[in-house]
């Protein structure tokens, strides 16, 4: 049974921390739910952690994976059964860090594409403390790294809004080059896309991750390293400074 991804309803839904759900599958230490706020590893973004409170007490969620059915790893001794009601809570600090890091990735990818001859984003790993993006083709100098951070931080200071919508492939391609959005790499079978937009079409990208609503929540990026990954691919690693706006979570999503 497919799990409803509550964090995908809207950008705003990424701000909720608590939810109720029913257990739909149990396998070893992994529990499937009918609905969840826990983001599973995917799209380069790391999973949420937190807890599930069931009839026999509280369990720590250590790892979340899966497509379709999202599986929450809670250890072997959980005693949960199919049909049990649980209350889930995600770790807000980690979630908000992922939202900030992920939105920063969209900005950095857009800045690099525009500034350096359409260099493409060919991979990314979003973590709560530091994140990485791989670009190709590119040969980064110190000056270029400074330019990337400077232009990204200007966008953050402008505090643009981040919104989401559902669009067709044709609509997305009419607004942004497919090399910038990586639309040409998406399977042709996907026709309706969840699209994340920054400002008034500053950036637009099909994405199923979690993002902030306003760029000032990101805090400035600091590029802390670059590394060659061969064949014209280079990786940059960045961290975030403390943001101007730190929102409170919204508690329970219904
Ligand atoms: Zn995204």
| pTM (2 d.p.) | 0.96
pLDDT attached to residue 73: 98
pLDDT above 70 covers a percentage of the chain that reads: 100
For 115, the enclosing helix (H) or strand (E) is: helix 92-115
For 188, residues 6+ apart whose C-beta sits below 8 A from its C-beta are none
CA 207 to ligand 1 center in whole angstroms: 5
pLDDT attached to residue 1: 84
Q: What is the tens place of the pLDDT at every residue in 136-153? A: 999 999 999 999 999 999
Which DSSP state fits 156? H
Mean pLDDT in residue range 88-115: 97
Virtual torsion, Cα 204, 205, 207, 209, nearest 10 deg: -60
Indicate the pLDDT class of residue 10, thresholds 50, 70 and 90: very high
CA 48 to ligand 1 center in whole angstroms: 15
How far is it, in rounded angstroms, from Cα 33 to Cα 27?
12
C-alpha distances out from residue 158 to 104, 107, 148, Å? 13, 12, 16
Our measurement of the distance from residue 136's CA atom to the centroid of its chain's CA atoms, rounded to an integer in Å, reads 21
CA 230 to ligand 1 center in whole angstroms: 25
Token digits for 24? 């739909």
Instruction: Delimit the domains of the chain by residue range.
Output: 4-90, 116-240
CA 61 to ligand 1 center in whole angstroms: 23
C-alpha distances out from residue 162 to 102, 203, 213, Å? 12, 9, 5
Indicate the pLDDT class of residue 190, thresholds 50, 70 and 90: confident
CA 116 to ligand 1 center in whole angstroms: 21
CA 115 to ligand 1 center in whole angstroms: 20
CA 211 to ligand 1 center in whole angstroms: 6
CA 31 to ligand 1 center in whole angstroms: 26
Q: How many helices (H) and strands (E) does the chain have?
A: 4, 16
For 35, residues 6+ apart whose C-beta sits below 8 A from its C-beta are 3, 4, 5, 6, 19, 21
Q: What is the tens place of the pLDDT at every residue in 209-227? A: 999 999 999 999 999 999 9
CA 85 to ligand 1 center in whole angstroms: 31
Q: Which of 32, 86, 30 is nearest to 54 (CA)?
A: 86
41 contacts 127 by C-beta, under 8 angstroms: no
Beta bridge pairs of residue 64: 72
- Give the chain's largest Cα–Cα span: 58
Q: What is the tens place of the pLDDT at every residue in 41-62? A: 998 999 999 999 999 999 999 9
Q: What class does CATH assign to 4-90?
A: mainly beta
Residue 186: is its pLDDT beyond 90?
A: no
Which DSSP state fits 6? G
Token digits for 105? 């990735």
Determine if the peptide bond prior to 137 is cis (ω within 30°).
Answer: yes
In the chain the first and final C-alpha atoms are separated, in Å, by 20
CA 78 to ligand 1 center in whole angstroms: 33
CA 57 to ligand 1 center in whole angstroms: 34
Beta strand 4-5 with 35-36 is parallel
pLDDT attached to residue 6: 97
pLDDT attached to residue 168: 94
CA 101 to ligand 1 center in whole angstroms: 9
**Helix 92-115 and helix 142-157: axis angle, to 10°?**
120
Indicate the pLDDT class of residue 184, thresholds 50, 70 and 90: confident
Domain 116-240 has CATH 3.40.50.2300: no
Indicate the pLDDT class of residue 92, thresholds 50, 70 and 90: very high
């Amino acid at each position: 049974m497919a799990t409803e991804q509550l964090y995908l309803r809207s950008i705003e839904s990424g701000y909720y921390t608590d939810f109720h759900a029913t257990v739909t599958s149990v396998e070893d230490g992994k529990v499937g739910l009918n609905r969840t706020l826990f983001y599973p590893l995917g799209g380069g973004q790391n999973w949420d952690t937190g807890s599930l409170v069931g009839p026999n007490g509280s369990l720590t969620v250590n790892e979340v994976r899966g497509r379709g059915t999202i599986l929450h790893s809670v250890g072997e001794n959980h005693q949960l059964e199919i049909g049990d009601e649980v209350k889930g809570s995600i770790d807000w600090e980690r979630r908000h860090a992922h939202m900030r890091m992920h939105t920063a990735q969209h900005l950095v990818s857009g800045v690099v594409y525009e500034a350096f001859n359409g260099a493409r984003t060919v991979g990314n790993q979003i973590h709560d403390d530091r994140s990485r993006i791989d670009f190709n083709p590119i040969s980064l100098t110190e000056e270029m790294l400074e330019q990337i951070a400077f232009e990204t931080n200007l966008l953050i200071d402008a505090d643009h809004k981040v919104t989401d919508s559902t669009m067709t492939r044709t609509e997305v391609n009419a607004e942004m080059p497919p090399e910038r959005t990586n639309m040409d790499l998406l399977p042709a079978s996907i026709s309706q896309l969840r699209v994340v937009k920054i400002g008034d079409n500053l950036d637009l990208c099909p994405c199923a991750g979690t993002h902030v609503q306003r760029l000032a929540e990101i805090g400035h990026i600091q590029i802390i390293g670059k590394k060659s990954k061969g064949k014209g691919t280079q990786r940059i690693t960045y961290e975030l400074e403390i943001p101007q706006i730190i929102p409170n979570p919204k508690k329970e999503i219904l």
